[in-house]
């Protein structure tokens, strides 16, 4: 009887010890979880506070600027791949790549900002109320281009899914530059044309619509479009070698100028994007740089804008690229592009933070360039609007 009582006592004691240990483990785990959550929350608060502080600093800088001046960036926190155009009523609009501007916030599907002076920009909404999904149910809308043509605003865009090589280019239309834009659908996919080209731009030359497009894997191309500018009407013609994307075409003094961006667009402070340019007397090329080198062969000497990569540059903005060009009322050309501030390279969503920048294009001996070939830092003279 005594032995049985001892067994019962041992069993009871063992069970009690197990329960106590289990409770201790639960308590310790709970406290550890609380601490981890606390630190994570503190990190989120710190990042959000930094964004708020930077926003306040930017607003103070804008308030302190003299009329007729500006300072980069001209729009924050992000407007990647900015497509800037002047609407029929004289208002300026800029359209950007799909991005979630803040952690936990829904992505803005082609955000639109507008301005009357090219310096002060206001976010007014998104181009799409419903995202195009003719590639997949999980695709992204990148690199828009908007032009007024045939009485409507045409929005050309890239549709892509991360990791899928079958990217596509589509078009949407609207009666207003503020949208909403109604998707017309696909113009082509990479598999259909046998080229990995994205970043479309509509260019009208003597009434004939052309589509300029390109990607790092194959380079920059151009093709005629049908009169309605909703579908292709010819084969793509190659304009550059591979390794460059984001084409943008302008015509000045009977010459065509083709801009593009080689390098990496979206590696935070390590982004290596830049801007190159070639010139041609024919829209279909050949395009050569200022040294007469054909862009089909090389663009190693064609750079007109790069990041602050040298000590004397100040090391503030890197990865400038994916441009569009606007003429002000004085006839001066202004280049809009995105770049990355190395002191603030990512959004709270962890995507690369690419605010919109602006700099005046200078023309020297028939060639465009940017002063010092780097993004401007400090107060600059504003466009004449």
Predicted structure pTM score:
0.85
Q: Write the CATH number for 322.
A: 2.115.10.20
Residues 258-280: what's their mean pLDDT?
97
Residues 244-250: what's their mean pLDDT?
98
Structure tokens at 77: 């926190």
The predicted-structure confidence for 54-85, as pLDDT tens digits, reads as follows 555 555 555 678 999 999 999 999 999 999 99
Kindly state the percentage of the chain with pLDDT values over 70. Answer: 82
pLDDT of residue 163: 78
pLDDT of residue 309: 77
Structure tokens at 234: 């010819």
In a domain, 38, yes or no: no
Residues 143-165: what's their mean pLDDT?
94
The predicted-structure confidence for 3-24, as pLDDT tens digits, reads as follows 334 343 333 444 444 444 444 4
Residues 333-362: what's their mean pLDDT?
96
In a domain, 58, yes or no: no
379 CB-near residues (< 8 Å, 6+ apart)? 65, 66, 69, 70, 71
* Between residues 211 and 42, the one the model is more confident about: 211
CA 247: distance to chain centroid?
13
Q: How confident is the model at residue 137 (pLDDT cuts 50, 70, 90)?
A: confident
What would you report as the CA-atom Rg of the chain, rounded to the nearest whole angstrom?
27
Cross-strand pairs, 246: none
Structure tokens at 150: 């045939």
The predicted-structure confidence for 293-328, as pLDDT tens digits, reads as follows 999 999 999 999 999 976 666 679 999 999 999 999
In a domain, 51, yes or no: no
Residues 345-367: what's their mean pLDDT?
96
In a domain, 27, yes or no: no
Is pLDDT of 127 > 50?
yes
74 CB-near residues (< 8 Å, 6+ apart)? 118, 119, 121, 355, 356, 357, 358
Picking from 5-9, 12-16, 86-90, 191-195, which range would have the lowest pLDDT averaged per residue?
5-9
DSSP 93-140: EEE---B--STTPPPBSSEEEEESSSSS-EEEEES-SS---SS-TT-E
The total domain count for the chain is 1
Tell the residue number behind the tokens 């009977």, with chain if given.
254
283, 222 Cβ separation under 8 angstroms: yes
pLDDT of residue 52: 54
The residue segments making up the domain with residue 149 are 65-381
Cα–Cα dist 323/336, whole Å: 5
pLDDT of residue 164: 83
In a domain, 213, yes or no: yes
* Between residues 103 and 10, the one the model is more confident about: 103
In a domain, 46, yes or no: no
307, 374 Cβ separation under 8 angstroms: yes
In a domain, 34, yes or no: no
Mean pLDDT over all residues of the chain? 87
How many residues are recorded in the chain?
Answer: 385
In a domain, 215, yes or no: yes
pLDDT of residue 297: 98
């Amino acid at each position: 009887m005594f032995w049985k009582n001892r067994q019962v006592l041992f069993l009871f004691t063992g069970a009690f010890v197990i329960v106590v240990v289990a409770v201790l483990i639960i308590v310790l785990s709970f406290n550890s979880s609380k601490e981890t959550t606390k630190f994570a929350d503190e990190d989120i608060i710190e990042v959000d506070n930094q964004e708020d502080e930077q926003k306040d600093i930017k607003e103070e800088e804008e308030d302190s600027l003299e009329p007729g001046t500006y300072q980069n960036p001209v729009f924050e926190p992000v407007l990647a791949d900015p497509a800037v155009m002047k609407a029929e009523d004289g208002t300026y609009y800029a359209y950007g790549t799909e991005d979630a501007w803040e952690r936990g916030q829904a992505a803005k599907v082609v955000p639109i900002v507008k301005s009357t002076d090219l310096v002060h920009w206001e976010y007014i909404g998104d181009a799409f109320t419903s995202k195009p999904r003719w590639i997949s149910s999980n695709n992204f809308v990148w690199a828009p281009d908007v032009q007024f043509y045939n009485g409507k605003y045409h929005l050309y865009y890239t549709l892509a899914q991360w990791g899928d090589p079958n990217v596509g280019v589509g078009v949407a239309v609207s009666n207003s530059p503020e949208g909403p834009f109604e998707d017309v659908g696909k113009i082509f996919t990479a598999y259909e044309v046998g080229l990995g080209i994205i970043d479309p731009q509509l260019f009208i030359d003597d009434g004939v619509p052309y589509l300029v497009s390109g990607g790092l894997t194959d380079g920059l191309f151009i093709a005629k479009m049908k009169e309605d500018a909703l579908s292709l009407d010819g084969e793509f013609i190659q304009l550059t070698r591979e390794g460059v994307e984001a084409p943008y075409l302008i015509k000045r003094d009977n010459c065509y100028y083709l801009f593009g961006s080689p390098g990496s667009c979206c590696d935070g402070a390590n982004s290596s994007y830049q801007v190159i340019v070639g010139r041609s007397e024919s829209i279909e090329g050949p395009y050569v740089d200022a040294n007469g080198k054909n862009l089909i062969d090389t663009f190693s000497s064609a750079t007109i804008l790069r990041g602050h990569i040298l000590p004397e540059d100040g090391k503030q903005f890197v990865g400038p690229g994916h441009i569009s060009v606007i003429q002000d009322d004085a006839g001066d050309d202004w280049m809009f592009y995105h770049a990355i501030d190395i002191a603030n390279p990512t959004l709270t969503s962890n995507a690369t933070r690419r605010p919109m920048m602006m700099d005046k294009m200078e023309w020297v001996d028939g060639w465009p360039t940017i002063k010092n070939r780097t993004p401007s830092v400090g107060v600059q003279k504003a466009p004449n609007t």
